[in-house]
A and B are shown apart, each in its own frame.
Chain A
Amino acid sequence: MTVMQHIWIVLGVLFVFLNIAAGLIWVERRLLAMWQDRLGPNRAGPLGLMIVLADTLKLFFKEDWIPPFADKWVFIFAPAIVVASVLMSFVIIPFAPGILVADLNVGLLFFLAMSSLGVYSIVLGGWASNNKYSLLGALRGASQMIAYEVFMGLSLMGVVMLSRSFNLAEIVAAQEKVWFVFLQPVGFVIFFIAGLAETHRLPFDIPESESELIAGFHAEYSGMKFGMFFIGEYLGITLISAMTVTLFFGGWLGPAFLPPVVWFFLKTFVFIGLFILLRASLPRPRYDQLLEYGWKLLLPLVLVNLLVTGAIALWMKH
């Protein structure tokens, strides 16, 4: 691969994913409206598509206010972390044979590292706002992340055992015969739950829960700084969907009548739709319920899954 090709791939990935994240504003509102038996945004442009532009312009023109009681530099810095860390994670995803930015041999670990950095955005944003609701949101975000990071990593180790690699391109190649979702159903379900908690989407949007914490960690944010949190959440959804597809649903593999990259995006969009459907249909659990569920049910389950996978892998070898 020449340097120019590489640069084009980087720019292409950035362009495509930033646009998907912006487009999800429309997708989410229309889908939610469909499931709630109403129309949703349908006035601006064909099918209401221009709502994306309108929302973006609105965010740009809103007053960008830094509260006088806030810790100024941390307050400015915090929203950038989530977007940067999520965008960095896209580096290791193979979209099609030959279309990936970095072929890291510790790719999966890189993804976990970046996702563990993303939480700083919530923690620092909530703390720097110097507001009690924000701080409560930040504290919830931190403890939720610690609970979910543990079994997110562990749920992926089954995949690593089966494919014998941390490299995502090799993991996709190892699913040539059978997708890992059939070999690792428990791993898939737990990874998806952890991914939901990671992106702080409903039902796990406990750090921002509007009804009790009035938007929690980003209560003091406005304008484009709020926009960063917003776009970071949509990028996070896209990332978790893309990772689920890559790790459990064969990535770009698919029947030959469509090109691989189309298969990849089709599968990814199914999961993005699932994210939105979950938001439309599930209530938010109480904070202590979520942590109890994580530590007492999911963690033992993922350890048993790991043990069984290891035992079967060892048995198959002999």
Chain B
Amino acid sequence: MPILFYLSSAVAIIATIMVITRYHPIHALLYLVVSFLAIAMVFLSLGAPFAAALEVIVYAGAIMVLFIFVVMMLNLGKETAAQEKDWLRPAVWIGPGVLTLVLLMEMSILLLAPPQRNVAVAVVTPKQVALSLYGEYIIAVELIGFLLTTGIVGAAHIGKQKKKSLHRFLQA
């Protein structure tokens, strides 16, 4: 349904703009969550329910909670908001604005170009995703597995320290 697609894209774009312009880190992260949810809706309207569900579970659910967790731990106060305000002067917008404008022009030329191809909406089932992941893309999956294992082993090594027990109740 094109209306749903355009509506959720609009929400995604507005939310993303809000992410960039908020001074307060937690408010920015909240808009980022909304943006992820909107992108999940875009996936859903394009016939990819599996990707939509994973977008919500992995990005909006787990990763953003981690982000918010870290921001809370750092306890960024009013000073950070003021600093952020200082960084976001209008002059800063010129460079990225011009570059994005070039991309926008390219995209509009591509979209308005004469041979209009309609993107057919085909529903991708979880089974198809699994078959292509463990069929065509098996090497990529395995490589990512290696990478993640390295990450886990590294984190476990860094986090490992001899425990000083302060009390007998706290001994493992």
Contacts and interface: CB of A to CB of B under 8 A. Distances in A.
B168 to A, nearest CB: 14
Interface in A262-307: none
**Candidate in A74, A110, A117 with the most chain B CB atoms within 10 angstroms:** A117
B62 A109 contact: no
A139 B73 contact: yes
Contacts of B68: 123-124, 127, 142
A106 interface: yes
A117 B56 contact: yes
Contact of B57 (A112, A135, A142): A112
Interface string B52-63: 111011001110
Contact of B72 (A74, A106, A135, A145): A135
Contact of A113 (B56, B65, B73): B56
A166 B127 CA distance: 10
B65 A142 contact: yes
Contacts of A142: 65-66, 68-69
Interface in B125-150: 125-126
A209 interface: no
A142 B26 CA distance: 15
A161 to B, nearest CB: 11
Interface residues of B, number: 22
B61 A117 contact: yes
A143 interface: yes
Contacts of B50: 106, 109
Interface residues of A, number: 26
Interface string A101-145: 000111001101100110110011001000000010011001101
A112 B60 CA distance: 12
Contacts of B60: 113, 116-117
Given A74-B30, A105-B125, A146-B62, A153 B57 contact: yes
Contact of B69 (A71, A123, A149): A123
Nearest to A138: B72
B33 interface: yes
A188 B132 CA distance: 30
Contacts of A166: 126
B54 A109 contact: yes
Nearest to B54: A109
A149 B62 contact: yes
B65 A119 contact: yes
Contacts of B125: 105
Given A139-B72, A146-B62, 19 more contacts: A71-B26, A104-B49, A105-B125, A105-B126, A106-B49, A106-B50, A106-B52, A106-B126, A109-B54, A113-B53, A113-B61, A116-B60, A117-B61, A119-B65, A120-B33, A123-B65, A123-B69, A135-B72, A149-B57
22 contacts: A74-B30, A105-B49, A105-B125, A109-B50, A109-B53, A109-B57, A109-B126, A110-B53, A113-B53, A116-B60, A116-B61, A117-B60, A117-B61, A119-B65, A123-B65, A123-B69, A127-B68, A139-B73, A142-B65, A142-B66, A142-B68, A142-B69
